[in-house]
Structure 1
Amino acid sequence: MSMPAERFDAAKNQPEESESGLPEFRASLGFDLDPFQEEACRAVASGSGVLVAAPTGAGKTVVGEFAIFQALRTGRKAFYTTPIKALSNQKYSDLVATYGPERVGLLTGDMTINGEAEIVVMTTEVLRNMLYADSDTLDSLGYVVMDEVHYLADKFRGAVWEEVIIHLREDVQVISLSATVSNAEEFGGWLDAVRGDTRIIVSEHRPIPLFQHVMVGGRLVDLFAEDVSFDQVADTPERVAEVNPELTKMAHRGLTGSRGRVQRGRGRRGGGGTWGEKREQMGTRVSRPDMIMALDHAGLLPSLVFIFSRNGCDAAVAQCVRSGLALTTIAESTEIEQTIDIVAHKLPPDDLEVLGFWPWREGLMRGFAAHHAGLLPIFKEVVEDLFVRGLVKAVFATETLALGVNMPARSVVMEKLEKFNGESHVSVTAGEYTQLTGRAGRRGIDVEGHAVVLWQQDTDPAAIAGLASKRTYPLNSSFRPTYNMSLNLTSQFGRERARGILETSFAQFQADRSVVGMARQVRSREESLAGYAKSMTCHMGDFKEYAALREQLSVAEKEASKTISRLRRSAVSESLESLTRGDIIEIHGARKLGRCVVIELDNSWHDPRPTVLTEDKHIRRVGVQDLNGPVEVISQIRIPKGFTGRSPKERRDLAASLHNALAESRPPRRGAPEFTFSGSDEQEELIVRLRAALKAHPCHACPEREDHARWGERHSKLLRDTNKLRAQISGRTNTISKTFDRVAKVLEDFEYLVPASDDLGQAQITDAGQRLRRIYGERDLLTSLVMETGAMNEMTAEELAGFISALVFQARREDHGPDPRMPTAKVQIAWETSVNLWSRLSDAEANAGLPETVAPDSGLIWPIYKWARGSDLRECLRGTDLAGGDFVRWAKQVIDVLDQLAKIPDLNTGLARSCNQAVQRIRRGVVAYSNVVD
């Protein structure tokens, strides 16, 4: 395979006639093509597939647009695929503006517009489903543009990209657009192997140079000692840029008071640094309003500020509003108000408050906003629109914004270089840093972009420089066969050919190439293990044995703690559920409310939250999280009829009755009551045995025991990681087909596949298996198993809507609460059925050596059930921690699954009817609204 530079030289020498439509396309642009764009377009014109890897903002999409131009020119169809619906919506709008609504369609699962058009924008899952269904829409398809193709590394949805690439017809040209990845040649080599002639075009040049800074207090300080941009640092491997010595001194001293070298003013309003110079005292942190003011003074707005927390983004907007900060002129505020009012008129008035509309509106009017997955989709679309129009100057965003949505800025700020990945706090990788800061610098507007990291107490300037010096990251496959995929492949190609097809995946391609590097890692780790073992050697006994006992005890205590936590929550919940109006209780816990009287009950949710009046006449709601243990009823008083608690007199009178009742009852308890919760007898016995064994071990008396233990913990962790690596090496050959065989075994266990016999020659798919072929999602087999029991057949539309959510929803935080009460008996039966089937399925998966299917989750059952019955949004979200945007996003996924079920051939007639009715009942109000169609 020739190198990109050699192919580029060859491409420049090709005659103009071979360009086939390129001159006409070039003339329509109004700007000159960059060299990498020229090379990629020539490759498309010559009939080759292409992989274009270039930085964010470099103009990769021009290549995809040329493919669309070629499709229209030659009378063929073009599909433009994206990983997320928001990006599909945005691209659809762009293409409609270019080619008109009659020539462009949109398919995103829950949205269908002109699906048979010449150009169709869609999510990748939609195209995958078309391929398995052999849809007529694929007729005349000539080009598929796969935008953000590096998304195939996504743990949950990345496999879809590989399925599509493998299954598209050979005559379809695939144009893959990727962020800059370090193994583009490897990925391109795989594309060439499975798709045929594929050209690899790599550009590491940013059209807009990117300069790096650290904000210390209110000052911008250059990260590097020299006046160098990101391009100059990253493009010259032999060049090592020196970190600004002032930052190094600050890090060493742990101080931020030294004045440092202020960032020079390269064309910004007012020059750099004077904002910081006006501040008499510098701190390690700068407030968010002051940070925005400093950026504004330095001429670095508009800016994207990445905060890896939804609450942090919302808090940042609130802080800016409270500070009185305003970034907009009167004319800009008026224009923003007009845009917002259009949205407000299309939303149900009763939902505006619960959606946080008014604080959102206030922030936008002042020129700043939040952007995260918890926002209503239409709110995010408005923020994106106003930011692109230059009306919103600062957006506080989570990293989800970095994926594809077109929101370039003059500067990008990283509040921290650490984020929570769902399990623990981890450092931002070089690839993530590149992706996030890559939005700085608007092509055609800015002459340079700026990346800013906020100084923290433990900031290491050398670590920031390391991130800023690496712009690439490896693209690793997340592909593995699913139940649905395995059945579809078996149905189309037979089991043996399906195994062969799976062996062509990028995952297997990488596995076959990676064993040498993995073996090298094992050898290196074995040397480290030997060193750790030597350091943990104890003269009093076998410290490995002692360390193993400590680890077993730690695991056992954690499990017992989880059990105790569940028991406590259950006992507290039961005590709250048993309360009646007028009960006097004493509350000991984090909020220290003391003695109160229950004035209102709320058992509409599995987490009861009664309302109480305290002795000092405050009205509060009490939940499980507020209590250390079950509440005890001290006394009882009568609550006056019609009591609302709104007037001070009502509260005073009832508080007086509370005091009188307490004076007549037994003396008040001092301190919190003692409640004892213990784990199971087996857990307690195991902990007692392990503690005794630990104390009896000779190493327990060693004076250097804790030093040895630290080395032992390192040894244990590294050994686990090394053993995983050894297992990967031992199972490297045919890894994907082996996984396919394990999946097939589980399908056979549940009678979705009949094993091959001498008579039949290959495995046969049962009727249940044929139905499962139409169900896509992480819980595809579990959904099918429940459906096959008939538990959903007699449900009403609202019951079905609520229950299906349990097979879709995944809570953001683990919940150890008690099993919830269900809306109806039918939902209760289906819930219990799903839990039992999941238990059987997870056992089968464990026996087969497969990852466990995600358990059903009841957290959305009541909200969706209420919504399907017509309740307003406030009522549906009461008692939950769901944001409005979360609810809408999950509701659309419930619609997607219901729509899949409704379209299954030979489905129970009543179930199909309920599915369609449920879709209509969910698709209303904020769930139905989308700027794309209005």
Structure 2
Amino acid sequence: MSSISGSPSPSESYQAAAQRASESKTYLGAFARSLDFDLDDFQREACRSLQEGRGVLVAAPTGAGKTIVGEFAIYLALERGLKAFYTTPIKALSNQKFSELASKYGAANVGLLTGDTTINGDAPVVVMTTEVLRNMLYADSETLGDLGFVVMDEVHYLADRFRGAVWEEVIIHLPSEVQVASLSATVSNAEEFGAWLDTVRGDTDVIVSEHRPVPLWQHVMVGREIVDLFAGDTTFDEIAPQATGAPETEVPDISEAAEVASEPSTTDRRNVHAKRSSAAKVQQAVTGPEFEVNPDLLAMARSESRMNMSGRFGHGGRSRRRQDRHRDERQQSEQRSPVRKASRPQVIESLRRQDLLPAITFIFSRAGCDAAVAQCAASGLWLTTEREQQFIAQRVDDASHEIPADDLDVLGFWGWRDGLVRGFAAHHAGMLPTFKEVVEKLFADGLVKAVFATETLALGVNMPARCVVLEKLEKFNGEAHVNITAGEYTQLTGRAGRRGIDVEGHAVVLWQPGTDPAAVAGLASRRTYPLNSSFRPTYNMSINLIAQFGRVRAREILESSFAQFQADRSVVGIARQVRGREESLAGYAKSMQCHLGDFTEYAKLRRELSDAENFAARDHQRARKSHVADSLARLIPGDVISILSGRLSGHAVVLEVDPNAREPRPSVLTSDNQLRRIGVHDLEGPVSPVTRIRIPKSFNAKVPKARRDLASSMRHAISEDAPHSRRNSRHEDFGLGARLPDQEKKITDLRRALRAHPCHGCSEREDHARWSERWWKLRKETDGLVRQIQSRTNTIAKTFDRVCDLLSAYGYLESNDAGHVTISVDGQRLRRIYGEKDLLISQSVRRGALNDLDAAELASLASTLVYQAKREDRGLRPKMPSVSLESAVDIVVREWSQLEDTEEHHRLPLTGEPELGLMWPMYKWAKGRHLQDVLSGTDLAAGDFVRWAKQVVDLLDQLAKIPQLDPRVARICREAIDLVRRGVVAYSTVA
């Protein structure tokens, strides 16, 4: 069953009303009466599916209210005396959902499990991260008893390449009697995902809603003025239906708008979110929405482009422009722009004047978010009343009173508090979790009016705003600055518009030099973001599956993954292409038939001859390049060479050579005093010196007079040695014009065979040859498609087989004479270790890396197995805090090196290298040092340290609970947990 919500027909509306009347005495009717708003059609349809015993996939925009479906699943569980689990991708969202459900159903009925937090875990309703549920399934936890419903919020996370596999594992392994309510952002292949859910879970209804309850308007802020992105009255929702093929909205009654059709229009933007005239909406509904970009924005972009071109080419010498271009090109571009960019405080002031607060400004940089708060404070900006300031100050002080006073300064508490009191704050992963929770609650209560956030805020935390601002449309992805995708744009701007509070939501992009309004419009109007699986078998997953089901059944289970489902579906399409091409190949073969002989054989000779000649030419080119490189490598400073052609033709003297360079590129001074580097591609053939000159020791290539004097000396030396120079001015050939004897013989034989073939004398030979070339090209393409089919078939199972082979090589799996696979003692330990470095952790334990460590040292070592340093932060190995820790790290690094070699041999993804950058901070913290001392000399933010410390605690807790672990090591693990879980790490505001 599948549906896409749109505007119902009169008959559909009547049927829906009758159905609601019949539902009044059902669970759904009672649930609907408990709400203070009416259910939307898609919500009611999804809830009805759950009530009738089916699973659901609900795909709807941010803010559409799909979590109501999850809450109905919880309601059904409580009414039927069953348990319900509510899973989320991140701990912050789990904490938030726990607070909401606890206030609705009572603290005794709701629990929380997030790895490092356990509250009322045996309650009938438990909120948890998805990883916790996965671990419970593998451990066959007793908590799973009487489980009736699982709500998988933000299920589109399964596309995450690091953690996405967890969602598929849970969906596959949940008992068949458990109903699953999957809640997703709008994706373009919801039907495909729903079809997979139907395959692995049984009856699953797919309910897709493209409708936003609060319309979203798109703008560009030019200076301090907010300008509509699209011409005419066009919202995001009115663009999307036509772009995606969803039903268009129902045309309103023209008579209803007749009264206002004559009202004067206004361009006053002081109240941007005022409702548009009904007459304009009538016209738009009749003629269809306008998709034109605002012509004023396009004209501004053209004007800016002309000014930039004029500024770059209209004045100044060529050498000066070349020197200045890289130094201040961006600054010049901003100066030439017709728009003076508004500062961050000015942006917030503009939004306040137009009644567009509260607002979230997305800045793709933690430092940028903190800087924005500091800039707003320095500008004297206040967004709060005196009463609000007092209330905020009280809330902040109450929330932070348990934080040690010594840590407040290093946490930036006073600047953070001052910003909150003024009504603005930052929100990013580098902040202390407590601080982020306070910001979220104050923003939700309408006390904080402006938040500067990184994109992590858009990943699930419920913080809707009236307006969302995007400073830029590009971000750093860890390797390069890239443009954000249409999906990311929609996810970020989806925060705009608070249901039940705002009439409209607004998305604002700040004008930057080089802004392309058409590109912004493309992001705002495109909804093509497929959900693609990132699933792959891990060591822990594989060994748990084998332990529960055996290797054969485990392989079958993995073949039921969404990743394999998508691969198989793509294979169906490719196979259809192969069949079509095979039919075309048969037609081509018929067209190239020759009455004189086998033209296929003749065509093969032609191809072999062409390949042989091309190979000989490439071989000649490689030999030429090698000889040229050798001749360049033999040059020394002072050699004068003659370059016969190209952009550097003339004489040049060699100034400098790099003997260690992979490809020689000596630095030379040309006869016209220019400094250049010459390489293989600058020469037609090998070169040799025509003469030599002495380069003075005092020569400085940066001094023009020194260059002129040396060039003069070169010309004088050439004129004195003119006969020798003429003798050596020609590039040496070194026999490069001749082919190798074997190559020449093969080419001669093929030409002879070609002339002797009967088809060579055919009058239609070239016509046949053209059909032959088409046949051959299509044959290569078809064979490539066949290889794709072979590579995609059973890809997950093949990876699983390679994982099993590696685990067997390490002794984690054992086989008896009958071929039955069992789990070894070491394998049983691996079953309880979850994480990206699961096998490395198990090997480190196996080799005794933990045996001689005290609690602080153990916490420090654990950090190397969870910490992920930024690429630029990876440096040399630090000095270890102790000899014991040095030895333990040696074991871990050695095991990782051996594991990496083994993974390469088995063609498996490589386990990440142990990161040592957190060892000293974690060791100091476990030793009881103050946070300021711990973070001193590092680039770690306090929030990052707390996050990594909690992951260290999580790993230590896993190790301590392994039955096969040495009792002494397990005791030290528990001691280490107590040492790390203190101060800001232990403190939590979860109620």
TM-score normalized with structure 2 length: 0.72
Contact 1:214 1:452 in 2 (8 A): yes
Aligned to 1:620: none
CA distance in 2, matches of 1:504, 1:515: 15
Q: Which runs of 5+ in 2 are unaligned?
A: 246-288, 308-336, 582-613, 630-655, 667-676, 688-781
Deviation at 1:514, TM superposition (A): 2.1
- Go from structure 1 to structure 2 and tell me whether the alpha carbon gap of 1:2 and 1:213 turns closer, same or farther (over 3 Å shift): closer
Compute the displacement of 1:472 (Å).
Answer: 4.5
**Alpha-carbon distance in structure 2 between the residues aligned to 1:389 and 1:378:** 17
Partner of 1:707 in structure 2?
A: none
1:744 and 1:504, CA in 2 relative to 1: closer, same or farther beyond 3 A? same
Moved more, 143-152 or 740-749: 740-749
**What secondary structure, in the 3-state scheme, does the structure 2 residue paired with 1:731 have?**
helix
Q: Choose the corresponding residue for 1:233, options 239, 254, 262.
A: 239
Q: In structure 2, how many angstroms separate the alpha carbons of the residues matched to 1:776 and 1:316?
A: 38
Query: Conserved in 2, the CA contact under 8 Å of 1:284 and 1:456?
Result: no
Q: Distance in 2 between matches of 1:346 and 1:296?
A: 35
Identify if the C-alpha distance between structure 1 residues 343 and 7 changes in structure 2 by more than 3 Å, giving closer, same or farther.
closer
How is 1:165-564 mapped onto 2 (pairs within 5 angstroms)? 165-237=171-243, 241-254=291-304, 283-515=339-571
Distance of aligned partners of 1:484 and 1:282 in 2 relative to their CA distance in 1, 3 Å threshold: same
Runs of 4+ in 1 over 6 A off after TM superposition: 5-13, 516-524, 543-550, 689-693, 722-727
1:877 aligns with 2:935: yes
CA distance in 2, matches of 1:180, 1:164: 21
The residue that corresponds to 1:731 in the other structure is 791
Whether 1:132 and 2:134 are equivalent positions in the alignment is no
Distance 1:53 1:541 in 2: 58
Over 3 Å counting, the alpha-carbon distance change for 1:42 and 1:874 in structure 2 is same
Letter in 2 for 1:749: A
The equivalences for 1:789-868 within 5 A come to 789-868=847-926
Partner AA of 2:827 in structure 1? G
- CA deviation after TM superposition for structure 1 residue 219, in Å: 0.6
8 Å contact from structure 1 (residues 255, 284) kept in 2: no
1:100 maps to 2:156: no
Name 2:251's counterpart in structure 1: none
Q: Counterpart amino acid of 1:895?
A: V
SS in 2 for 1:155: coil
Q: CA separation in 2, counterparts of 1:6 and 1:322?
A: 49
Identify the residue that residue 321 of structure 2 maps to in structure 1.
Answer: none
Q: Quick one: distance in 2 between partners of 1:36 and 1:337?
A: 42
Cα deviations by residue, 1:704-746 (Å, 9 ceiling, x for unpaired): xxxxxxxxxxxxxxxxxx9999976541000100111111121
Does the CA-based 8 Å contact 1:158-1:478 persist in structure 2? yes
Contact 2:2 2:205 in 1 (8 A): no
Q: Give the 3-state SS of the residue equivalent to 1:921 in structure 2.
A: helix
Q: CA deviation at 1:815?
A: 3.7
Taking structure 1 as reference, are residues 256 and 221 closer, same or farther at Cα in structure 2, changes over 3 Å only?
farther
Asked if the contact 1:19/1:42 (under 8 Å) is kept, the reply is: no
The answer to whether the 8 Å contact 2:150/2:179 transfers is yes
Check the 8 A contact 2:5/2:211 in 1, yes or no. no
Question: What are the Cα deviations for residues 301-327 of structure 1, in whole angstroms up to 9, with x where unaligned?
Answer: 000000011011111111111111111
Q: Distance in 2 between matches of 1:7 and 1:242?
A: 25
The residue aligned with 1:570 is none
> 1:816, CA displacement in angstroms?
4.8
Residues 376 and 141 (structure 1), Cα distance of their counterparts in 2 relative to 1, 3 Å cut: same
- The SS at the match of 1:859 is coil
Structure 1 residue 878: Cα displacement: 1.1
Paired residue secondary structure (1:121): strand
Deviations 1:366-391 (A, max 9, x none): 11110000000000000001101111
Structure 1 position 144, deviation (Å)? 0.2
Return the alpha-carbon distance in structure 2 between the equivalents of residues 785 and 34 of structure 1: 53
Residue by residue over 1:378-424, the C-alpha shift from the partner in whole angstroms, topping out at 9 and shown as x without a partner, is 00000001101111110000000001111000000011110111111
Q: Which SS does the other structure have where 1:126 is aligned?
A: helix
Helix, strand or coil: the match of 1:858?
coil
Q: Which residue of 1 aligns with 2:697?
A: none
User: 2:314 maps to what in 1?
Assistant: none
What letter corresponds to residue 732 of structure 1 in structure 2?
R
**Cα pair distance change 1:699/1:249, threshold 3 Å:** farther
Shift of 1:762: 2.1
Q: 1:695: Cα distance to partner?
A: 5.0
What does residue 753 of structure 1 align with?
A: 813
Equivalent position SS for 2:63: coil
CA spacing shift, 1:330–1:857, aligned 2, 3 Å: same
Measured against aligned partners, the alpha-carbon deviations of 1:399-451 in whole angstroms (never above 9, x if no partner) come to 00001111000000011110111111111111111111001000111000000
User: Who is 1:909 aligned against?
Assistant: 967
Question: Does the aligned pair in 1 maintain the 2:849–2:892 contact within 8 Å?
Answer: no
Distance 1:107 1:732 in 2: 38
Q: How far apart, CA to CA, are the structure 1 residues paired with 2:680 and 2:306?
A: 47
Q: C-alpha displacement at 1:842, in angstroms?
A: 0.7
CA contact (8 A) 1:434 1:472 kept: no
**Displacement of 1:365 after TM fit?**
1.1
Corresponding residue number in structure 2 for 1:37:
43
Instruction: Tell me if the contact between 1:256 and 1:282 (Cα under 8 Å) persists in the aligned partners.
Output: no
CA distance in 1, matches of 2:620, 2:565: 39
For each residue in 1:333-370, what CA deviation from the matched residue of structure 2 results, as whole angstroms up to 9, or x when unmatched?
A: 11110011113311000000101111111111111110
Q: Is the 8 A contact 1:898 1:915 kept in 2?
A: yes
State the distance in 1 between where 2:402 and 2:225 align: 43
Q: What is the CA distance between 1:515 and its match in structure 2?
A: 3.7
SS in 1 for 2:972: helix
**Where do 1:27-66 residues align within 5 Å?**
27-66=33-72
How much has 1:687 moved relative to structure 2?
4.1
Give, in whole Å, the separation in 2 of the partners of 1:385 and 1:728.
Answer: 51
Alpha-carbon distance in structure 2 between the residues aligned to 1:887 and 1:212: 38
Q: Determine which structure has more spread, i.e. the larger CA radius of gyration.
A: 2
| Contact residue 56 and residue 435 of structure 1 kept, 8 A | yes
151, 166, 169: which one pairs with 1:163?
169
CA separation in 2, counterparts of 1:342 and 1:700?
A: 79
- Distance (whole Å) between structure 1 residues aligned to residue 977 and residue 864 of structure 2: 16
Aligned letter for 1:817? Answer: G
How far residue 231 of structure 1 moved from its aligned partner, in angstroms, is 0.3
- Report the CA distance between 1:505 and its aligned residue: 0.4
Q: Deviations over 1:767-823 (max 9, x none)?
A: 101000000000000000000011211211000000000000001233452211111
Aligned AA (1:863): P
- Structure 1 pair 45–489 and aligned structure 2 pair: CA distance change class (3 A): same
| SS of the residue 2:468 aligns to | strand
Matched, 1:921 2:979: yes
Q: CA RMSD in A?
A: 3.3
Deviation at 1:464, TM superposition (A): 0.7
Q: What displacement does 1:30 show? A: 1.3
Q: Aligned partners of 1:462, 1:194: CA distance in 2, in Å?
A: 43
User: Does the aligned pair in 2 maintain the 1:19–1:46 contact within 8 Å?
Assistant: no
Amino acid at match of 1:443: R
The answer to whether the Cα contact below 8 Å between 1:541 and 1:699 also exists between their aligned partners in 2 is no
Counterpart amino acid of residue 387 in structure 1: F
Give unmatched runs, 5+ long, in structure 1.
258-280, 525-537, 554-675, 702-721
1:768 to 817, 826, 829: 826
One-letter amino acid of the structure 2 residue matched with residue 478 of structure 1? S
Give the match's secondary structure for 2:401: helix
- In structure 1, distance between residues paired with 2:131 and 2:934: 29
Amino acid in structure 2 at the alignment position of 1:737 = A
Q: Quick check: 1:11–1:42 contact (8 Å CA) kept in 2?
A: no
